[in-house]
Structure 1
Amino acid sequence: HVRGRRRRGLIFLALAVGAVGFSLALQMGLNANFVADEMHLTGLEQGLLETFRESCGIIALGVLALLAGLAEPLVGAGMLVLLAAGLSGYAFVPDYLWLVLMSLLWSQGLHVWMPLPRSMALALAEPGRTGRRMGQVQAAGAAGMGVGLLAALALVKAGVRIRPLYVVAGAAALLGSAACLGIPRRLKTPGPRFVLRRKYGLFYALSFLEGWRKQIFIAFAGFLLVKRYHTPLETMLLLWVITQGIGWVASPLVGRLIDRVGERKVLALYFSCLTVFFVGYALVRSVPVLYGLFVIDNAFFVFTMALATYVGRIAPPSEHTPTLSMGVAMNHVAAVTMPLAGGLLWKYLGYQWTFLIGAVAAALSVLVALKVPPRPDGVRKPAAPAGADAAD
């Protein structure tokens, strides 16, 4: 009976994550061409837009506190309605101001949603299989993204313009909201919604540095390909399709790798590779090589699930969601400032410096990841699984 509830909850969670993946696939796949070709933003304007949008990550922590006590699936359903409204609004924005306003709307919904799937996956996973279950849920998101990108690619080839595709993205987010209503509402995290403890310091530091590095990629990698190298929309969508195909295959494998070797080795490998990638963005001039960097860098994001499994290992169940939420906030402290800094560097020193500060963040992350303690022996076969069940 308990196994059936777990399985049902995981299925609906995977459906919700897949629908959100479909929606975000369109946003991410269209974004660089939309802001560069449709809205004609400069590098500085793009950085400023991302700074506004990422400020929602800080606000999300307060929103989660205000909604404490509500079932996490209900909170998720409400936030996905905001995501749907904001993305649909992109179809009608007339100028930069309205672009910022719609970005704030969908971004706020997304950022409150962000810690919830991982928290719910931790609660629904069987003892000793958190990495595998999280990998499966993340694979559902990658599959949704793949389907969304293929749909967008087909529609673009059929002559559909970029703006109507944002209405499709909004509709997918609404389906994700409906799927959340099928997740067991008993998934309420007791205790405070804010957790700031010294013992989670490495997680906070890695979240901060990942926000620094990730936001440089999100704000400027695709923008570089479109603005400087004039990459057409169809090509950008194809790059995203390849990325998500890799992610769909890799997510369960990375989850098993985390269960097998632990978070320290996985995170050290991840950040070491990212350091090389960002130096490549700054120095490489070959467009095919840049396309390859874009795909591999993007696909490597699946490794960040090691941050969540690390929290699942060191934090009691009552602190999973508030700790992950604090990680989101730490992530966005960097994410708010880095796009503006990157935009200023792009304008006054050249785009190379924008990516070099991302390389610095990745290199620092390697040093921090090496301080993560290894998993104790036997962690994959807990001595007291009943205690872990009680966490659910």
Structure 2
Amino acid sequence: MSKALKKNIMFQYLMLLVVAATAGHQGWRTLFNNFAVDEVGINGFQVGVIQSVREIPGFLALLVVYLLLFIKEHRLSALSVLFVGMGVALTGLFPSFLGLIITTLIMSVGFHYFETTNKSLTLQYFSIEQAPVVFAKQRSWSAIANISMGAFVFGIAHFINLKFSFILIGVLVFCIGIWAFFWEPTDKNIPVQNKGMVLRKKYWLFYVLNFLSGARRQIFVVFAVFMLVQKYQFSVQNIATLFVINNIIAYFISPLIAKGINQFGERKMLSMEYFSLIFVFLGYAFFENAYLIAGLYIIDHIFFGFSMGINTYFHKTGDTKDIAPSMAVGFTINHISAVVIPVIGGMLWMINPQIPFVAGAFISIVSLIFVQFIKIERKVNYAK
């Protein structure tokens, strides 16, 4: 299977863009909290506002289905990566609360629209057995990009300031986006996707799981790292090191997750994720040791990879021509909670930092209940 994938032009195309988008986003994530706290001086509520703004493009991912009326999906992917680079490069030039909001929005438009089109193209171009493997390889190569970016940030932190770090990373990603825009990796034999919005009753569980996944993800992304920086005074080098450890583990474990999905199915793998996260979030809330919290963050990141099971579940049960619009709808639903939770969580954080993490444990329990409704009744081969 690996040899066949490597010869697939779409595989090569998506892998390049995945690495570029991941590197840009990881560079932004690694630098953001220290830049925001040390140079801009924002508080917990303000970081919640910025992170909510970051999720607005995800909430508007539904617009992808209308953009596809005017631009080919693979070109929209490349254009999205270009926006990631632009947003990252501009971040260091506007060291203010408003500046962070605007540049975060630009970066996020690119990142979220790429995520939507990448999932769609992967499910369209690869079979039921191949898709989990492709998602796993993307995550493994994303891990390599993240490790490289973490090492890069760690290495340059003593030589250039955060402003020029943002510019350097952003310009590189921007250039890759331009180059990929003129590449032609498409296959004319792939079924034409339905145009416009597709919202079907039979996909209700896919929608619910996306909603709950978005809520869980935001607590992890927004408040776990912020707690390490604000409460435990982790430096940019500490955060970069933590990301490197996360991604070394992700590189090796992602193929195992794909094998688990193919062997045991989505219901068992997602059940394992949500059951474990109940205790991870409670640990965030009640542990008072920085090293334990960092360890929980690593465990959390491992289980984050299991979420590919939501998309492979749709791949096995949905209609072929609904893939592109359904990925956009699912991504939008995923971000309904993501837009609200950082702001509400930020306000609750100001009352008691434990509250957002207790809420995360509750969301994990609800997710575990809904995962039990997963039933794979039929298999359809969507790609050659």
Q: TM-score range by the shorter chain?
A: over 0.9
Q: Deviations over 1:62-116 (max 9, x none)?
A: 2432333532110111112221111111111131111111111111121111111
CA distance in 2, matches of 1:203, 1:362: 16
CA distance in 1, matches of 2:377, 2:278: 25
CA distance in 1, matches of 2:86, 2:213: 28
Aligned to 1:353: 355
**Pick aligned residue for 2:227 from 224, 228, 237:** 224
Q: 2:337 aligned with 1:343, yes or no?
A: no
Aligned residues with identical type, % of pairs: 27
Q: Deviations over 1:210-235 (max 9, x none)?
A: 11111111111111111111111111
* Amino acid aligned to 1:135: A
Query: Size of the alignment, in residue pairs?
Result: 378
Shift of 1:199: 1.2
Q: 2:29 aligned with 1:20, yes or no?
A: no
Change (3 A) 1:301 1:375: farther
Aligned to 1:268: 271
Tell me, what secondary structure is at the counterpart of 2:278? helix
**Pick aligned residue for 1:370 from 359, 369, 372:** 372
Aligned to 1:105: 106
CA distance in 1, matches of 2:5, 2:152: 33
TM-score by length of 1: 0.91
Asked if structure 1 preserves the Cα contact closer than 8 Å seen for 2:266 and 2:310, the reply is yes
Give unmatched runs, 5+ long, in structure 1: none
Asked if structure 2 preserves the Cα contact closer than 8 Å seen for 1:12 and 1:180, the reply is no
Q: 2:206 aligned with 1:203, yes or no?
A: yes
Q: 2:143 aligned with 1:138, yes or no?
A: no
CA distance in 2, matches of 1:337, 1:4: 39
Deviates more, 1:180-189 or 1:71-80: 180-189
Change (3 A) 1:275 1:78: same
Asked if structure 1 preserves the Cα contact closer than 8 Å seen for 2:45 and 2:347, the reply is yes
Change (3 A) 1:152 1:4: closer
CA distance in 1, matches of 2:254, 2:51: 27
Aligned to 2:161: 161
Summarize the alignment of residues 1-392 of structure 1 with structure 2, pairs less than 5 Å apart.
Answer: 7-68=8-69, 70-126=71-127, 128-156=129-157, 158-177=158-177, 178-179=179-180, 181-182=182-183, 184-186=185-187, 189-347=192-350, 349-374=351-376, 388-389=382-383
Asked if structure 1 preserves the Cα contact closer than 8 Å seen for 2:216 and 2:364, the reply is yes
Shift of 1:192: 2.6
Q: Deviations over 1:179-212 (max 9, x none)?
A: 3543523468521342211111111111111111
Shift of 1:126: 4.0
Shift of 1:43: 0.6
* Amino acid aligned to 2:370: V
* Amino acid aligned to 1:272: F
* Amino acid aligned to 2:375: P
Alignment root-mean-square deviation, CA: 2.0
Asked if structure 1 preserves the Cα contact closer than 8 Å seen for 2:198 and 2:325, the reply is yes
Shift of 1:265: 0.5
* Amino acid aligned to 2:371: A
Tell me, what secondary structure is at the counterpart of 2:311? helix
Shift of 1:284: 0.4
Shift of 1:168: 2.6
* Amino acid aligned to 2:321: S
Give unmatched runs, 5+ long, in structure 2: none
Asked if structure 1 preserves the Cα contact closer than 8 Å seen for 2:65 and 2:195, the reply is no
Deviates more, 1:40-49 or 1:169-178: 169-178
Deviates more, 1:206-215 or 1:57-66: 57-66
Asked if structure 1 preserves the Cα contact closer than 8 Å seen for 2:191 and 2:321, the reply is no
CA distance in 1, matches of 2:36, 2:266: 37
Tell me, what secondary structure is at the counterpart of 1:192? coil
CA distance in 1, matches of 2:297, 2:255: 22
Asked if structure 2 preserves the Cα contact closer than 8 Å seen for 1:193 and 1:321, the reply is no
Asked if structure 1 preserves the Cα contact closer than 8 Å seen for 2:65 and 2:324, the reply is no
TM-score by length of 2: 0.93
Change (3 A) 1:4 1:335: closer
Asked if structure 2 preserves the Cα contact closer than 8 Å seen for 1:58 and 1:333, the reply is yes
Asked if structure 2 preserves the Cα contact closer than 8 Å seen for 1:64 and 1:112, the reply is no
Shift of 1:176: 4.0
CA distance in 2, matches of 1:72, 1:138: 21
